[in-house]
Amino acid sequence: MPIDAVEAWANAILGLGVSAALVAALRAIGLWDAPALVVSILFFVASLTRAYALRRLFRWWEDRA
Contact yes or no for 32/26 (Cβ under 8 A): yes
- Sequential pLDDT tens for the chain (65 residues): 888 999 999 999 999 999 999 999 999 998 888 899 999 999 999 999 999 999 999 999 999 97
Domain span at 28: 3-64
pTM value > 0.85: no
The pLDDT assigned to 50 comes to 96
The pLDDT assigned to 40 comes to 93
DSSP assigned state of 34: S
Contact yes or no for 61/26 (Cβ under 8 A): no
- Give the helix ranges, DSSP H, for the chain: 3-28, 36-64
